[in-house]
Amino acid sequence: MGKIVVKVIVLLFGSLGLGIGIALVLILVMRFTRLGRSAHNAILFLAGSPFICYTLAEQVGMSGIITVLFASIMIGGYAPTHLTAEATTLTSFFLKQLASVGDTVVFVCCGVQAVQYHKDGFMMSLWIMLACLCGRAAAVFPMSGLCNLIKWGVSQKVPNEKNHYISWRHQVMLFHSGLRGGIGLVLSLELGTYVDRVNGPGTKDSLVYATFVMICALVFGGSTAVTLRALRIPYGNDVAMDACLYGSREESGIFYLIGVRFRRRVLKPLLVGQSADRVEDHIQVNLTAAVIQDATSRQASAAFGLRRRSTAAILPDSYNAMSLFGTTDPAHVENVEDAVQAVGTGESEVLSNLSSISDEEDEESFEEA
């Protein structure tokens, strides 16, 4: 058990550090090579980055998924500062479509498994579903209670924490929306021949089919939207575009103060610099807008015939933006503001407190701030 715990810790933090390290290198490459001045090269560079991260992590024995996750967080925060708004939008669109293709391939694999009926696999799936439900209940409800208890203790000094208790509705939804989907099937397909050698012939096929049945069961994902509506939890377009869990005045903890200082003094000078590309963005021709305007004017002309359809890019709601770009902020304006500005929205008061704290002051000064 001790070896397992150590291995999990090494795997988690090793993958985390590797992901951040690779992201730093990639962002510095973008900065010093001025890659952002060539939109198509920048898009291809960013599209290939996750494959580099994943392959390198797997080769050194780390988790490719965790490495890509934390590398993406860093790249998403600082790479857009070296791209124009148009290039960032096109990159968001391209990556979203790649992700959609990947999802489609995974679920095609799920559909193929439908013809591989296996009686033992069906019975096994029932036991697996029961085990999953028990495991979710044992994890979600006690940990939610512990989290609420901690929030209650913190609320004695920070009253706003009372507004962030995990309600019973959200606890039920967390219990309902556990791990499920095509990734589980892919993992079962990657099981080696050792499964059949150790547990008998046909074990792998039974596991694959059991996983497929679990994915298709309504209680494991197919009823997510129905459950959200039944619990009266807003989702999709029902959630306000500017919804935020914490307000600017609530971001004043000791770790937040340290993070703001670290970003201002280390990350911004190292990864952003002057961000010339974004500063000059307003004087550059927006090629995407020009193409759309040209197509619209052509279709509206008399020479086009009887058709009068417009190709203008209209995003009437957040759902369409998410489906096209994977985000409601395709140009990543918020990320650029956070990375470029030394004093961002809601940080003025925090940084004014920081300015009065010298590097030599002890922890008591931090707590006072």
- Greater confidence (360 vs 76) lies with 76
Neighbours of 89 (CB within 10 A): 23
- Greater confidence (55 vs 210) lies with 55
- 181: nearest Cα among 209, 214, 215: 215
Map residue 360 onto helix, strand or coil. coil
How is 83-103 classified by DSSP, letter by letter? Answer: S-HHHHHHHHHHHHHHHHHHH
Rounded to the nearest 5°, which phi and psi values hold at 270? -80, -45
- From CA 192, how far away is CA 184, in angstroms rounded? 15
Q: What is the mean pLDDT of residues 43-53?
A: 93
* Number of alpha carbons in the 13 Å side-chain half-sphere of residue 90: 18
Beta strands in 167-289 (DSSP E): none
DSSP state of 263: I
Q: How confident is the model at residue 59 (pLDDT cuts 50, 70, 90)?
A: very high
- From CA 69, how far away is CA 73, in angstroms rounded? 6
To which residue do tokens 């990556």 refer?
Answer: 95
Per-residue pLDDT at 319: 54
Map residue 123 onto helix, strand or coil. helix
DSSP state of 328: S
How is 233-278 classified by DSSP, letter by letter? Answer: ---GGGS-TT--SS-GGG--SHHHHHHHHHIIIIIIIIIITT-HHH
Q: How confident is the model at residue 321 (pLDDT cuts 50, 70, 90)?
A: confident
Sketch the domain layout of the chain as residue ranges: 1-104+249-369, 116-233
Percent of the chain predicted with pLDDT > 70: 77
On the 0-12 / 13-18 / 19+ scale of CB atoms within 10 A, 307 is exposed
350 pLDDT more than 50 = no
Longest dimension (CA), the chain: 77
Q: What is the mean pLDDT of residues 39-53?
A: 91
- 74: nearest Cα among 100, 93, 50: 50
Calculate the alpha carbon distances from 332 to 195, 254, 285 in Å: 46, 27, 19
Q: Which two tokens stand for residue 143?
A: 């940990």
pLDDT tens per residue across span 171-225: 999 988 765 667 778 788 888 889 888 888 888 888 888 888 887 775 666 678 8
